[in-house]
Structure 1
Amino acid sequence: MTKKVAMRAVAVSVWIFINLVFVGMCGYIYLLWSQYWQYVARHQLGTAASASESLQSAYSQFRSESSDERVLAAASGVSMVSTSNQGKATERSSHGKRRGNNRSVSSVIVKNSQPRFPKPRNDPEEESEFEVGNKIGVNVTNGKCGGGHECSVSQEEPDRVSTKKKKPSAPKSSPLPQDKLDASIAAYKSQMVVQLRRVLLEESSVFARDKNVYNVQYSGPRGAYTGRAQDLVCELKKSVSIRMISPVDNPFGSLGLGKYLHKDSLFANTHFNTCAIVTNAGSLFGSDLGGLIDSHDAVLRFNHAPTIGYESDVGSKTTLRIVNSQVVSKARFNFLHSPLYKNISLLAWDPSNYTSTLEEWYNHPDFDLFTPYFQHRAFHQDQPSYLLDPRSQWSLWDFVQAHIPVRIRRNPPSSGFLGLAVMLPHCSLVDLFEYVPSMRLTKRCHYFDVAEDESCTFGVWHPLAAEKLLSLSLNIVPDHAVFADGYVRVPGYSTLKC
């Protein structure tokens, strides 16, 4: 008996030893892997630091010039090109500095774990500091925005006036030679790609604070995409279906809410030649991109981003506005009555758990989306307003994760990447403005508020770093359009016939 007990103890000890060895080997392999990628990042940054003094001087001069001069010198007449190697990141030397300070782009601050809305420049709480206007002007054009409704508008919002700071006038200077300009853009791109990859590695670390609140259980493939942009767009079409909640979907139909939902999908039987997706990025402030944005047939904006007072930078046209459940549910955004959300197409979304049914989502939304949304529908029955099926967001997340070799943040994709997936079926070309940070990069979160936080660029809640790297693989225009002009161009599904 004693012998059996001793043999059992030995067997247990051997089993524990084997498991400890296995765990130790896994930990060792992980450390080697992480050290390797950190070495790659350090090596790339080291290469950037050894760039010649002439390149650094040219880059400094490029950054100090006015926005207009940069655009004229960098990109006069950008045309769509086929880039078979677009998905391959070019790792060239860089030593870029942020505009307006002396810190390098490598400074990243990721502080919070939830999306936030900083105080705007013209916040009502600070009303005494600004003049308040009472006029409302709506200029309806002939652009259809879905469901047969005419709703591409130039919009004035009451109780808000421009508080935009006067742009500093830059001294007149001669444009950079094209070779130095191209070298500066290549240096900045290299630094930005390295930084986005570094953020990805930090987010994928086992030590990262990722609570997986949406219970994401992904078991699909992972890998870096290195093919053609056009093929990746076709893959996006096959993998992701953006669906709206319909009147027959339960529990909405069974609860009598179906009468408030549209039978037709967003932009049904409507096609646009060119579409602009305007992010809320702080680098749009002072960009003078308003005219280019308004020249598009359809313009998509997000949440509570204003146009009044910022027309020269972001334009005035709005065809579709995508709003998250915080904007819909919180009183300070005035969703029910603000002109920002009238006379245009609306798409509201709220995240569900990764595997939730529609009924589970309805009973446990992140924010109280449904009460104000259906109130808005009752007030504006003719307005093309839609609810996004939350499962569409997770199919889009799956697509991003499938093309990134490391684990990404287990939160829904950003509204910007959602907007791309929404517009691609309805547009021949889609331009995303300041989605990938251009050389106008600043610490400012949004073009319309005064808050500064560098984490807005690289992601604080959404898997932004992964999305932006993937958008570079989807892009079909040259680097100077992306990093000097400030937009990524993606061909629509109809253009590629995939």
Structure 2
Amino acid sequence: MRCFTITITIFINLMFFAICSYMYLLWSQYWTYQNKNDFATSTYDQQIYLYNRGYLPEETNNKSNIAKLRSKHALRENIIYVNNSRPRIPGIPKDILELDTNKYVCFKNETHLLCREKNKKFRNKLLTELENTFFEQSHVLRYGGRNNTYNVHYVGPKENFRNKPANQVLCELMNTKLETLKRSDIDASEPIKSSMPKRAFFENKHFNSCVVVASSGALKDSNLGRFIDSHDIVLRFNHAPTKGFETDVGKKTSVRVLNSQVVTRPQYQFLKSTLYKNVTLVIWDPSNYSASLEEWMRNPEYNFFPNFIQYRKQEERPRIYMVNPLTIWDLWDFLQRNFPEKLRKNPPSSGFLGLRLLLPHCDFVDIVEYIPSVRVTSRCHYYDPDTNKACTFGVWHPLAAEKLLTYHINEAADMDVFQKGFIRVKGFKHLKC
């Protein structure tokens, strides 16, 4: 009788455990389904949608222009959005870092000791947030090989940048390629050959101070305009304006790095807007990971070539370049080589591309509000009110990984990084490798 009672008890417990496990699986599947169908409406998410699909969410994919914009890397119809870059993974705390607060800002009436303590606390919270975001995004069950739009198959080593001196990581970065295409790189059969520049970007040129200006919402009310304009070279991105924002972002623009959708889509008025006049332009468009240059030119992500040619014709002294897309993946390989975890199989961000473009030509490069300061905000850009935490911590590019590594090679003091809002990276000319 006693054995029978024990058996029944064990059986009931096992049944209860099985039912609970089954309910957990159902619940997990439900929330996974919710994730896949949770469409964000923010400008930033629409830009990600744009980048992956070639059309806005309200457009349909049976329009004739869609095939022209995107055919090579077309995804399935059910687009997976990762809202706010916060997938549910047990054991990882959420909301480590408060946004849109001045609790970590150092005020003039505070003691130096209190200021340093506040700054240290913010630094630790920010780095923890970046680490958590990165580990979430690299979680194999969520991202392992499913969304491989560019057919990335990395087979190299996976080391840990945290175990290397900053100088060693910088030397590795110097040994990567990020090049612009010259006329001599293009096959004679390509119609665009005659429109290509004879020289590469900043060929045989060197400058003392350079600055990369992120378009971050944290630049609002930063009063960094004068600091930015004090640099010899000022690099900005896409259609980020200066007019009306001079106090915070300055008024000088030397270089604009543009992704190819800005050059092709009518709303950006690439051939008419004064934003793209009397300035050096560098356009980038990603290729398939293993594609040849010829394959990419026959089928780019966005066909910006007609506007590239027209710009060269209409401007009196055009300074316009395009990045060799094969070298973009060389930069991605560098990132993956320095992380033991999996990276998102998407190209590096424009910010990281901009940094790598300038490092060979500058004694040092400052990057403003790339690593978030105490002004960190849910606001995506300083020039529009749209909010989305993913703008800061990443949702499509391997942004969290980029920022962790860039902070590792930074030379600026933590007070400059987190209170003022810039990091400083030594130019390649001064490296001893």
- Give the TM-score, by structure 2 length: 0.74
Counterpart residue number, 2:37: none
Q: Is the 8 A contact 1:286 1:313 kept in 2?
A: yes
Counterpart residue number, 1:223: 159
Pick from 90, 99, 117: which aligns with 1:183? Answer: 117
Asked if 1:115 corresponds to 2:48, the answer is yes
Counterpart residue number, 2:384: 449
Fraction of identical pairs, as percent: 43
Cα separation, partners in 2 of 1:175 and 1:222, compared to 1, 3 Å: farther
2:48 alignment partner AA: P
User: Aligned partners of 2:283, 2:303: CA distance in 1, in Å?
Assistant: 12
Deviations 1:293-334 (A, max 9, x none): 000010000000000000000001111100001100000000
Counterpart residue number, 2:10: none
Aligned residue for 2:109, secondary structure, equals coil
Aligned residue for 1:276, secondary structure, equals strand
User: Aligned partners of 1:332, 1:338: CA distance in 2, in Å?
Assistant: 10
Q: Is the 8 A contact 1:416 1:435 kept in 2?
A: yes
Count of residues in Structure 1 that have an aligned counterpart in Structure 2: 334
Q: Is the 8 A contact 2:183 2:197 kept in 1?
A: yes
Aligned residue for 2:132, secondary structure, equals helix
Deviation at 1:247, TM superposition (A): 1.2
Aligned residue for 1:450, secondary structure, equals strand
Asked if 1:488 corresponds to 2:402, the answer is no
Aligned residue for 2:257, secondary structure, equals strand
1:195 alignment partner AA: E
Pick from 214, 223, 226: which aligns with 1:291? Answer: 226
Asked if 1:205 corresponds to 2:139, the answer is yes
2:404 alignment partner AA: L
Pick from 220, 231, 242: which aligns with 2:178? Answer: 242
Cα separation, partners in 2 of 1:467 and 1:316, compared to 1, 3 Å: same
Q: Is the 8 A contact 2:216 2:382 kept in 1?
A: yes
Pick from 338, 345, 350: which aligns with 2:273? Answer: 338
2:153 alignment partner AA: Q
Aligned residue for 2:133, secondary structure, equals helix
Cα separation, partners in 2 of 1:173 and 1:269, compared to 1, 3 Å: closer
2:112 alignment partner AA: Q
1:187 alignment partner AA: K
Deviation at 1:205, TM superposition (A): 1.4
Cα separation, partners in 2 of 1:393 and 1:482, compared to 1, 3 Å: same
1:188 alignment partner AA: F
User: Aligned partners of 1:434, 1:256: CA distance in 2, in Å?
Assistant: 40
Q: Is the 8 A contact 1:283 1:444 kept in 2?
A: yes
Structure 2 portions without partners, runs of 5+: 1-41, 51-101
- Give the TM-score, by structure 1 length: 0.65
Q: Is the 8 A contact 2:209 2:362 kept in 1?
A: yes
Q: Is the 8 A contact 2:379 2:389 kept in 1?
A: yes
Cα separation, partners in 2 of 1:366 and 1:490, compared to 1, 3 Å: same
Cα separation, partners in 2 of 1:173 and 1:216, compared to 1, 3 Å: closer
Aligned residue for 1:241, secondary structure, equals coil
Q: Is the 8 A contact 1:113 1:461 kept in 2?
A: no
User: Aligned partners of 1:321, 1:188: CA distance in 2, in Å?
Assistant: 31
Q: Is the 8 A contact 2:214 2:370 kept in 1?
A: yes
Cα separation, partners in 2 of 1:473 and 1:340, compared to 1, 3 Å: same
Deviation at 1:262, TM superposition (A): 1.0
Q: Is the 8 A contact 2:311 2:318 kept in 1?
A: no
Counterpart residue number, 1:403: 338
Cα separation, partners in 2 of 1:455 and 1:255, compared to 1, 3 Å: same
Asked if 1:280 corresponds to 2:215, the answer is yes
The alignment yields a C-alpha RMSD, in angstroms, of 2.0
Deviation at 1:363, TM superposition (A): 1.9
Deviation at 1:382, TM superposition (A): 2.0
Counterpart residue number, 2:169: 232
Asked if 1:359 corresponds to 2:294, the answer is yes
2:222 alignment partner AA: S
Deviation at 1:497, TM superposition (A): 4.7
Deviation at 1:412, TM superposition (A): 0.3
Structure 1 portions without partners, runs of 5+: 1-108, 118-167
Counterpart residue number, 1:53: none
1:427 alignment partner AA: C
Deviation at 1:114, TM superposition (A): 5.8
Aligned residue for 1:392, secondary structure, equals helix
Q: Which moved more, 1:416-425 or 1:242-251?
A: 242-251
User: Aligned partners of 1:418, 1:286: CA distance in 2, in Å?
Assistant: 26
User: Aligned partners of 1:197, 1:205: CA distance in 2, in Å?
Assistant: 12
Asked if 1:329 corresponds to 2:329, the answer is no
Deviation at 1:227, TM superposition (A): 2.9
Aligned residue for 1:248, secondary structure, equals helix
